[in-house]
Structure 1
Amino acid sequence: MIKNYFKIAFRNFWRHKLFTLINVIGLSIGISAALVICLIVHYDLTFDKFHKDGDRIYRVVTNFSFQGSPGNNAGVCGPLPWATKNGVTGLQQIAPIFRLFQPNVVIPNGSKESARFKLQDNVIVADGDYFKLFEYKWLAGSASSALAAPYKVVLTSEQAEKYFPGASYDQMLGRTVVYDTLKTTVSGIVQTIKQNTDLIFHDFVSFPTAFSNPSIKEQLRLNNWGGTSPEYQLFVKLAPQTTAAGVERQLNDIMKKNYKSRPGVTETFALQPLADIHFNNLYGTFNGRVADKTTLLELSGIALFLILLGCINFINLTTAQSAQRAKEIGIRKTMGSTRRQLILQFLSETFLVTLAAVIISAAMAPVILKLFAGFVPAGVNANLFSQPGILLFLALLTVVVSLLSGFYPALMLSGHKPVSVLKNQAQNNSNKTRSAMLRKSLTVTQFAIAQFFIMATILVSKQVYYATHKDLGFKKDAILIVNSPWKNRQERLNQVLLNKFRAIPQIELISMGRDAPAAGDLFSTEATYNDGKKEIKLENFGVRFGDENYIKVYHIKLLAGRNLRPGDTSKAVLINNTLAKQLGFKSPQDAVGKVISKYNGNAGDMLIAGVVADFNAESIHAAIAPVAIMTSTNFYFNGTFHIALKPQTTTGDDWKTAIAAMEKAWKQIYPEDDFEYSFFDENIARLYTDEQHTSALLSWATGLSILISCLGLLGLAIYTTTQRTKEIGVRKVLGATVTQIATLLSAELVWLLALSFVTISPVAWYAMNRWMQSFADRTPISWWIFALSGGGMLLTALLTSGFQTIKAALANPVKSLRSE
């Protein structure tokens, strides 16, 4: 019986090749999108799910409040882990870790030249409790003793093979690894974690080393309850039946006993579930990438809509063809077929179409992943056989799509009465009306989804363009950012390099400082100002560090007062107009010469030398912040070169020549470090990477939704014109022109498009308005976005159906009206 179902299905596919092809392509597009999105979602949702008792593992994080302004830090203060071990009940394991900042690694090799590895990330200080909390497979050494003594290190297998190529794991034990000046001995090798994880550490230095090494011990600040660093973190595992809230209360009680915060400032500890680390941007991960659950939901929604569009096509075309299969159904029923058998027959046809679409989608997945390489996380792969969860998803998707697409057509087709269909009365007026209403409703839904994507794409693209082209209050073009190396940075060497850069003829001006006017973060501080009547507290105003050339390089306008001078250091500052208003000055000139006191808690005063125009110190997601610009002699705040290049000449090679000359000068001063640079305008564009990804994603979703809708529309146009061939012939005989007939056939389409436009426009406006709320500075939701969407969709639909409509209108009425 089943063999017969499939044999009949293939015959029907061959008889209606065009409609079958349209259905397969429409479903393939939707399923391909769903498959790729499922790969992304599955990848992110499987992070750190493999740890034993992972639901009881937490990271202790710190939350701050400065005069009501919240702040978050993934780290803890120095004494907390040790106080926790002694003073908190209900904990099964306590594992502090401390990340070393990009040490240079040297592997001594006896008489041979030592192997060197620059700026290694993910090197941490840990103790044996870390390996009790997170289970690793030990390849060499002992978990109980490997990190018990000072100056010991455990390596992952991948890192160990990089440091000691060709050696066995047992031979690696006892070898020396030097981190900057810290000399350690390999005491253990663990298997590199193969599953998806944010715990990407590969070098584990023993914690007793930190107590013996003055440099690391100073960084840990073991006696400072008021210092919190994201590099110093604490993981805990709760005992069974212990609640996170109870542990949080104990942690905060310990904090209250040992530290009294400043007025207006609160500091509390919280437990962050291990499963939340991958998705929580407040605290971050160890590899810098944080997945966004909202984005994953949006991706899933797009996949669902695209699959829905393919299913709508299938239902529309299948129900439209019902009259052509009516006699087949009548004969089958006369020969004894039951309605259940007919439903299974039609569902088997739907299943085969869906299965073909799934196979095509699986074959296309690697190509799509490469196409979206800039958007898809690096760890996502299309090897379906190594991901049983994805294979299960495809199997379920095949069944669900088959039922969603095929159940109603099967129910409708199997319901024909044999007496009526064999008398050429396949459908009564009621059935015809019901079938037509369904097709019209589904078509309106298709057009509404496509127009929603069009509107959203136009608005997001408009906002991204606005963000990257808006006047931010400073110059963006022809400026290079070069950071002197953190490890080897010296003021004397930077000055020599600065002089060499200045001698390059293609360079117009150079400023030394820290961050550019707009960067990913904004260094903040606090101060007070006394206007003679009351004291005004400045909480968390931003600071940009630069010399006297800073505002010249970036063309930041000076509104009043003077520029910074070489001898000002931190005794004089420039403030922006927003900060001047916050201090209560009615005009920029009023602020010049006034003094801000107790800067950063110190007793020193800062003279307001001048006031500059407002500029965006962060992305336009944030409102313009109160900002001060000052010079600094601290190498941390004075290690970045801001280089304004001269305009290019007709040859267009001036900037390349300048960069090559800078690299040559760099190698003379810092021969051990790589020369790296970035263009400032590209850095600005990177502030909106998420929005650019959203725009690209919506563009593809829009294109695919339009393509699927047009495929369905083409199929319906072919069916409609075929069904109305005689009507068209009669109208032509009675004198109707080609234009009149084409207009008649297109009128219904226009009304359906208009209905979908009216239905979806309010929904699209609401959704776009919600999305725009994340921007403090945003472009308006203009009326032309909706007009362009509706007009574009109408034009696309008319062009899609127009060829078939005009072809029908031009047909010879003699052929369409003859009986045989």
Structure 2
Amino acid sequence: MLTNYIKIAWRNLRKQQGFAFINIFGLAIGLACCMLIMLYVLDELSFDRYNANADRIYRIQSDIKFGGNDMHFATTPDPLGPTLKKDYPQVEQFVRLHQRGTWLVKKTGETTNLREGDVVFADSTVFDVFTLPFVAGDAKRALTQPNTVVISKSAAKRHFGNQNALGQTLVFANTENYRVTGIMRDMPRNAHFRTDFFVTMLSDKYPWGQWLSNNHHTYIRLKAGRSGAPADPAVFSQNFGAVIEKYVGPQLLQMVGTTMEQFRKSNNQMNFWLIPLTDIHLRSKQQIELAPNGDIQYVYIFSAVALFILIIACINFMNLATARSSNRAKEVGVRKVMGSERQQLVGQFMTESILTTVLAMALAIGIVAVALPGFNSIAAKEISLLQLVSPSLLPIIIILPIVVGLLAGSYPAFFLSSFQPISVLKGRINMSFRTVSLRSGLVVFQFMMSVVLIIGTIIVYRQLTYIQTTSVGFNRDHVLTVNDLYAVGKQAETFKQEVLRLPGVVSGSLSGYLPTPSDRNDNVFFPEGQTNMNKGVSMQNWGVDYDYVKTLGIQLVAGRNFSQQFGSDSSGILLNEVAVKILGFKDPIGKRIWGFNDAEGKTRKTYTVVGVVKNFHYESLRRNIGALALVLSANAGAASFRVISTNLPVLMQQIEAKWKALAPGQPFSFKFMDDSFDEMYRAEQRIGTIALTFAGLAILIACLGLFGLAAFIAEQRTKEIGVRKVLGASVPSLIGLLSRDFLKLVLIAIVIASPIAWYAMNNWLKDFAYKIDIEWWMFALAGLLAVGIALLTVSFQSVKAALMNPVKSLRSE
């Protein structure tokens, strides 16, 4: 029986090739979208699960409210990890990571460096906490000695080729020698941070023991309970209050003479809390992450999009199948007269449906194979097609076409098999109001989801345009940043002056701090004579040179810039408007403030306010502008140049030549500041592109469904149209008659979709401190697009029906 069903189903598909192609293609697009999103979602959910003890590893986060700032850090004080291990038996192990960032690295005896990113200082316990298998060396002893480093297999290949890297020496920053004591496998791509270099924490030149500084990422592994289940992190977190009282309080009292009780009474707070390792990538929104994170919100959104696109594709199948009902009606009538029972007819139609979805699945896999490289590029992923046959996905891939076939084919099967043989053989097919209403409701649902996606895409792109075009308070255009300035040693100023002599270079500055993703430095400042915590201001403290303000186009609103004409500017300070407001200065120029001159808080330095700069965004527009102080400093990690040139490639070659003359063998690394600024919103740009793509595909699939319903209506009203034409109806009036019903459905979809889209996108915009307003025209534009697309879709069937010869449509009467 099943073989017979399949044969008949195959014959019907071959007999109606155009209809079969539309059905298979629509389902294939829906299934391909579903599989791509499924691969994306599963990849996002897989982060850090490669660790053997992932369910017992937690990172400690810091929430601090002080000095007008509400700070949420992914970092903690450096003593926290060792202290927890010493004081609390629930802590089985800890590890601290201190991000070094970019470092110039070369093999001993080489003259040319390679620029290595994301170098990390780590405790020797890093390989005990994280599952990072070694290919050479002893993981337990690899980082227990000073000046040792563990590198990845890829890094070993880059620096040593086919030689054995174990025991070899690498030179960092041209001055520091590190012995390779271990080679690990490359870190998995689905880790919340990745590095090729773990440098021993014993060589980190850091002022240890600072309970009031937050510079280390601290992870702990809790012991399993008696039953083998992980320890309860909520119960363990109750210990942090005692840790703060016992260790943070005394250092706070020593530095500013304030107890923790007074600190809290001044409306300040300090809290630590645990986040599971497997939640970091999607659920952590802290500052100072080791690498950019994802967002669980996008996982939910894309999962819903995948489901809705699949539902839209199934709806199409139903509408297209019922649109062809009159062509199958006589077949059903003859089969029933010949003795076929209804369950046999249902089986036949369900077999056709499942065969269609199986063919669609095969086509969908082909579409995924072709689209995956582009999708990986857009989504910044490394997903392989082989993941479709992984143990977690293969059962879904096998079951999905069967389930979709049953769901999509159920309504047409029961609908077609319900025809009465006498009626259909006489050419009378009655369509109940319930049947028509169901199909109309399905079309409304399709276009409702399409309109939601259109509105969402418009708002995402408007927000991205706002970010890229809004004034950030400084001029980031035409600013070239040259990195790794330490490679030229003491000749940084010489390099700056040499570049300034080139035609097209307007100004230049040396600084370690830029209003783009880069290092940050916090400090606490008090008005002169004050130590009361209520008067303290936590602000960014950036060391700059005399030309920093000029080069970046930062505006002064009061006072003056640093000047070499004033020797006293070595103790001068520039504040932004936020800092002035928090300090309560009505006339800030000449006011004196003091701050700690070292991390230990043993020495202090007093500064005189010489100028006030206009507020500018030095972080993402997701955050409000915080307090900022600029002070003169000779320390510089990067050189910034404002360039205006009609022949930029030649100018870049000239700057590179100056670099190589002062730093032979050192890589010339540069980036334009507007590109660095855009990197902060790369995730939103990717999401916007993905949303636009899937919105377009959802509309395409919905249009196929509308095309099917248009065909169905035109088929049902053939004789009515013939009568109207005989009575004098014009072609335009008939097209309007047939299109009017569809426009009603689309308008209903727009009305339903608008509040849903507003609610969803309003929640998305809450992540931004600076954002656009959701305006009425966005909904109007989405509605016009939906109406225009619907009209284009149904116009073909409407024109075809209106132009039909009435003699042909009425000859059976």
Give the counterpart letter for 2:358 in structure 1.
L
* 3-state SS in 2 of match to 1:819: coil
* Structure 1 partner of 2:318: 315
Deviation at 1:671, TM superposition (A): 2.1
In the alignment, is the contact (CA less than 8 A) between 1:26 and 1:309 conserved in 2?
A: no
Q: 1:594 aligns with which of 591, 595, 598?
A: 591
* Structure 2 partner of 1:483: 483
* Structure 2 partner of 1:468: 468
Deviations 1:248-291 (A, max 9, x none): 44565355333325335554443332212332434589861422
* Structure 2 partner of 1:229: 215
1:494 partnered with 2:485: no
Give the counterpart letter for 1:743 in structure 2.
G
The answer to which of 455-464 and 734-743 deviates more is 455-464
Deviations 1:10-30 (A, max 9, x none): 222233322222222222222
Deviation at 1:406, TM superposition (A): 1.4
Structure 1 pair 627–155 and aligned structure 2 pair: CA distance change class (3 A):
closer
The answer to which of 149-158 and 389-398 deviates more is 149-158
1:757 partnered with 2:743: no
* Structure 1 partner of 2:41: 41
Deviations 1:48-106 (A, max 9, x none): 32433431233344443425854344444444444444332134444555666655555
Identify unmatched segments of 5+ residues in structure 1.
none
* Structure 1 partner of 2:641: 643
* Structure 2 partner of 1:667: 660
* Structure 2 partner of 1:23: 23
In the alignment, is the contact (CA less than 8 A) between 1:485 and 1:673 conserved in 2?
A: no
Deviation at 1:244, TM superposition (A): 2.5
* Structure 2 partner of 1:549: 547
* Structure 1 partner of 2:245: 256
1:529 partnered with 2:527: yes
Deviation at 1:351, TM superposition (A): 1.3
Give the counterpart letter for 1:560 in structure 2.
A
* Structure 1 partner of 2:370: 367
Give the Cα separation in 2 of the matches to 1:582 and 1:91: 40
Deviations 1:500-545 (A, max 9, x none): 011001112223334444656764433233799x997252234555
Identify unmatched segments of 5+ residues in structure 2.
253-262
Give the counterpart letter for 1:302 in structure 2.
V
Trace 1:243-282 onto structure 2 (pairs within 5 A). 243-250=232-239, 253-260=242-249, 262=252, 263-264=263-264, 266-282=269-285
* 3-state SS in 1 of match to 2:720: helix
In the alignment, is the contact (CA less than 8 A) between 2:376 and 2:383 conserved in 1?
A: no
Structure 1 pair 251–771 and aligned structure 2 pair: CA distance change class (3 A):
closer
* 3-state SS in 2 of match to 1:235: strand
> What's the TM-score once normalised by structure 1's chain length?
0.87
Give the Cα separation in 2 of the matches to 1:448 and 1:117: 53
In the alignment, is the contact (CA less than 8 A) between 2:283 and 2:296 conserved in 1?
A: no
Deviation at 1:622, TM superposition (A): 2.7
Deviations 1:95-135 (A, max 9, x none): 555666655555458xxx799655364555443x5444445
* Structure 1 partner of 2:615: 614
Deviation at 1:204, TM superposition (A): 5.5
* 3-state SS in 2 of match to 1:591: coil
* Structure 1 partner of 2:420: 417
Give the Cα separation in 2 of the matches to 1:762 and 1:279: 27
Give the counterpart letter for 2:571 in structure 1.
K
Q: 1:564 aligns with which of 540, 547, 562?
A: 562
Q: 2:718 aligns with which of 725, 739, 758?
A: 725
Structure 1 pair 69–348 and aligned structure 2 pair: CA distance change class (3 A):
farther
Give the Cα separation in 2 of the matches to 1:812 and 1:153: 85
Identity %: 33
Give the Cα separation in 2 of the matches to 1:122 and 1:554: 29
Give the counterpart letter for 2:371 in structure 1.
I
* Structure 2 partner of 1:238: 223
Give the Cα separation in 2 of the matches to 1:147 and 1:595: 46
1:12 partnered with 2:9: no
* Structure 2 partner of 1:705: 698
Deviation at 1:441, TM superposition (A): 0.7
Deviation at 1:495, TM superposition (A): 0.9
* Structure 2 partner of 1:426: 429
Deviation at 1:322, TM superposition (A): 2.4
In the alignment, is the contact (CA less than 8 A) between 1:530 and 1:536 conserved in 2?
A: no
In the alignment, is the contact (CA less than 8 A) between 2:81 and 2:220 conserved in 1?
A: no
Structure 1 pair 91–573 and aligned structure 2 pair: CA distance change class (3 A):
closer
Give the Cα separation in 1 of the matches to 2:614 and 2:428: 80
* Structure 1 partner of 2:52: 52
Give the Cα separation in 1 of the matches to 2:740 and 2:135: 74
Deviations 1:215-241 (A, max 9, x none): 53x42x4544444422x6343241324
Deviations 1:341-395 (A, max 9, x none): 2222222211122122221221122332322344323322222465232322322
Give the Cα separation in 2 of the matches to 1:616 and 1:36: 36
Give the counterpart letter for 1:573 in structure 2.
I
* Structure 2 partner of 1:342: 345
Give the counterpart letter for 1:383 in structure 2.
L
Specify which structure has the bigger relative contact order, considering alpha-carbon pairs within 8 angstroms and separated by 6 or more residues.
2
Deviations 1:158-186 (A, max 9, x none): 5555555445xxx7665555656665666
Structure 1 pair 192–286 and aligned structure 2 pair: CA distance change class (3 A):
farther
Give the counterpart letter for 2:246 in structure 1.
K
Give the counterpart letter for 2:37 in structure 1.
I
In the alignment, is the contact (CA less than 8 A) between 2:151 and 2:197 conserved in 1?
A: yes
* Structure 2 partner of 1:798: 791
Give the Cα separation in 2 of the matches to 1:546 and 1:151: 31
* 3-state SS in 2 of match to 1:526: strand
In the alignment, is the contact (CA less than 8 A) between 2:82 and 2:94 conserved in 1?
A: no
Give the Cα separation in 1 of the matches to 2:63 and 2:626: 22
The answer to which of 510-519 and 455-464 deviates more is 510-519
Give the Cα separation in 1 of the matches to 2:102 and 2:637: 17
The count of residues paired between Structure 1 and Structure 2 equals: 787
Give the Cα separation in 2 of the matches to 1:704 and 1:483: 43
In the alignment, is the contact (CA less than 8 A) between 1:38 and 1:390 conserved in 2?
A: no
Give the counterpart letter for 1:300 in structure 2.
S
* Structure 1 partner of 2:259: none
Structure 1 pair 765–509 and aligned structure 2 pair: CA distance change class (3 A):
same
Deviation at 1:581, TM superposition (A): 3.9
